């Protein structure tokens, strides 16, 4: 029986792309002891390539952690200066920019996202690396007043050590950039698990890490299922911190596993059912455009998607009609066609889940004003769907669907809008559409959400923190706040004078 391949070739956009299929541990690709798997193109439900992707067993995760620990103890976390970490991160960003077309083509086929959006996500990943490269030589603590002229106190900000990072399928390289950039900047080493559905672009990233010249073991990739590989990371006694982006249910399990093992640090960016509040003073046409963008981007597969539109009753019907037209105008099709605006859902199970929620919404009495059906006879495409005549207690208004489905709910006044906006177990994001500054100022303070957009949606900046309230997670990504998750703060008190120890 032939040995499994560690590389394969993908032909896309008139280009031949060699793609790794192995685990990336201690600076090299290798075979794994887990059950190898096919990665499926959701546009046709066929394997992206004939060859299987290697999966990590518990022993492989152990090997990756050992490599990361050695790198942290001997080089990356101890002797490599911030300026050198910055240089390597900038080099990696340059290589990502160089290979954007290749990375985007592979990511589009692997995940069902349009190649145009993949290019934008990849540009975001390289920009995030550059942003945190700027922080790498600026990590510092505070000098504090002592209790005597010959005493002083100060703080040291030190890397936590080896970190395990688990990301979802919906933004593979963008989420990789958000995760690894702050960790590398402060001097942590990484054991990284991409989503089982979308590992290929991350394996290409590992190849670029090697080309950039990072020390061996600083960045390791372990493919595999959440049940086996993800659990091994969450439970590992020699991982100092784990970060996870994904569902709230899985996040709970990771928090428990982290606590039961070595009480490792945990940061979680989880689900959402985010509201957008549209007030009478808003520019309705712009509110419709931003709202459509905020929910239908990436086929609705975004944790921060604005899936609950709370619209004042005076402009409700006008808004619903315009949103329905906007949804119907979205072009579905091949992900490699640059005119395509929406691709398929990630896999069959997610497709069926979304279609089930559409049936639930109809059974609950909501009115379908756009979409509500699959698109085409092949592939996992769902038409952008708009439900009107929804009340906030319906399942489609409370449960995360993770597909191109949005509900529009009327409200009578500001207090009612805020009450409905906060009436959910989630708190990841929200939006306010209003031209009245006093109205915006009041409402933004009352919304229980980690991010509030005003007269826009989904626009993120690397210098602005992102994360959730309530069951949408713990901690923050991006900005200076994103560094905190990867550092320990050590307080030092120094008596450098003649004062003797007090008598007992």
By annotation, the residues acting in catalysis are 269
Token pair in block for residue 399: 């449960």
Q: Of 227, 165, 172, 219, whose CA–CA distance to 195 is shortest? A: 172
Sequential DSSP letters for 198-255: --HHHHHHHHHHHHHTPPTTSEEE----IIIIIHHHHH-TT--EEEEES-HHHHHHHH
Alpha helices in 393-450 (DSSP H): 395-398, 414-422, 437-446
Q: Compute φ and ψ for 151, nearest 5 degrees.
A: -130, 150
What's the Rg (C-alpha) of the chain?
Answer: 24
In angstroms, the CA 104 to CA 77 distance is 32
Distances (CA, A) of 266 to 181, 239, 272, 476: 17, 11, 19, 11
458: left (phi over 0), alpha (psi -120 to 50) or beta: left
Q: Of 100, 144, 103, 127, whose CA–CA distance to 19 is shortest? A: 103
Sequence-distant (6+) residues with CB within 8 A of 76 are 85, 187, 188, 189, 215, 217, 218
Q: Of 454, 407, 408, 406, whose CA–CA distance to 312 is shortest? A: 408
Q: Which residues pair with 151 in a beta bridge?
A: 495
β-pairing verdict for 385-388 and 367-370: antiparallel
Q: Compute φ and ψ for 243, nearest 5 degrees.
A: -115, 140
Q: What angle do CA 74, 76, 79 make, to 5 degrees?
A: 65
429 three-state secondary structure: strand
Token pair in block for residue 325: 């037209």
Distances (CA, A) of 302 to 170, 237, 251: 7, 32, 16
Sequential DSSP letters for 142-155: -EE--SSTTEEEEE
């Amino acid at each position: 029986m032939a040995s499994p391949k560690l590389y394969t070739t993908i032909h896309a956009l008139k280009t031949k792309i060699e793609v790794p299929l192995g685990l990336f541990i201690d600076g090299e690709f290798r075979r794994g002891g887990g059950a190898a798997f096919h990665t499926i193109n959701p546009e046709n439900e066929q394997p992206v390539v004939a060859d299987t992707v290697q999966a990590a067993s518990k022993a492989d995760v152990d090997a990756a952690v050992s490599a990361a620990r050695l790198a942290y103890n001997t080089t990356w976390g101890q002797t490599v200066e911030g300026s050198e970490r910055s240089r390597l991160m900038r080099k990696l960003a340059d290589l990502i920019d160089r290979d954007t077309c290749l990375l985007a083509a592979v990511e589009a086929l692997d995940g069902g996202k349009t190649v145009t959006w993949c290019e934008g996500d990849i540009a975001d990943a390289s920009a995030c690396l550059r942003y945190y490269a700027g922080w790498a030589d600026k990590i510092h603590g505070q000098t504090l007043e002592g209790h005597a002229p010959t005493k002083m106190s100060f703080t040291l900000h030190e890397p936590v050590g080896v970190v395990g990072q688990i990301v979802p399928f919906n933004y593979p390289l963008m989420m990789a950039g958000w995760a690894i950039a702050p960790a590398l900047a402060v001097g942590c080493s990484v054991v990284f698990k991409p989503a089982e559905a979308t590992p290929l672009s991350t394996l290409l990233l590992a190849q670029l890490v090697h080309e950039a010249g990072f020390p061996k073991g600083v960045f390791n990739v372990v493919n595999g299922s959440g049940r086996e590989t993800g659990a091994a990371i969450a439970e590992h006694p020699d991982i100092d911190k784990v970060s996870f982006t994904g569902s709230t249910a899985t996040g709970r399990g990771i928090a428990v596993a982290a606590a039961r093992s070595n009480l490792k640090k945990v940061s979680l960016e989880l689900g959402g059912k985010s509201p957008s509040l549209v007030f009478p003073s808003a520019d309705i046409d712009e509110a419709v455009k931003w709202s459509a963008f905020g929910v239908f981007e990436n086929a609705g597969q975004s944790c921060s998607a604005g899936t609950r539109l709370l619209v004042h009753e005076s402009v409700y019907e006008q808004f619903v009609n315009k949103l329905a037209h906007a949804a119907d105008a979205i072009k579905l099709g091949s992900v490699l066609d640059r005119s395509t605006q929406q691709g398929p859902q990630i896999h069959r199970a997610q497709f069926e889940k979304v279609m089930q929620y559409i049936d639930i919404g109809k059974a609950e009495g909501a009115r379908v004003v756009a979409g509500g059906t699959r698109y085409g006879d092949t592939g996992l495409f769902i038409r952008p769907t708009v439900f009107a005549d929804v009340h906030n207690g319906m399942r489609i208004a409370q449960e995360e669907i993770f597909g191109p489905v949005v509900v529009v709910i009327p409200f009578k006044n500001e207090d009612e809008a805020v009450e409905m906006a906060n009436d959910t177990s989630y708190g990841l994001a929200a939006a306010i559409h209003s031209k009245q500054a006093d109205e915006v100022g009041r409402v933004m303070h009352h919304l229980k959400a980690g991010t509030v957009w005003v007269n826009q949606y989904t626009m993120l900046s690397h210098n602005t923190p992102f994360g959730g309230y309530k069951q949408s997670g713990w901690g923050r990504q991006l900005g200076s706040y994103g560094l905190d998750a990867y550092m320990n703060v050590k307080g030092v008190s120094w008596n450098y004078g003649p004062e003797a120890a007090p008598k007992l």
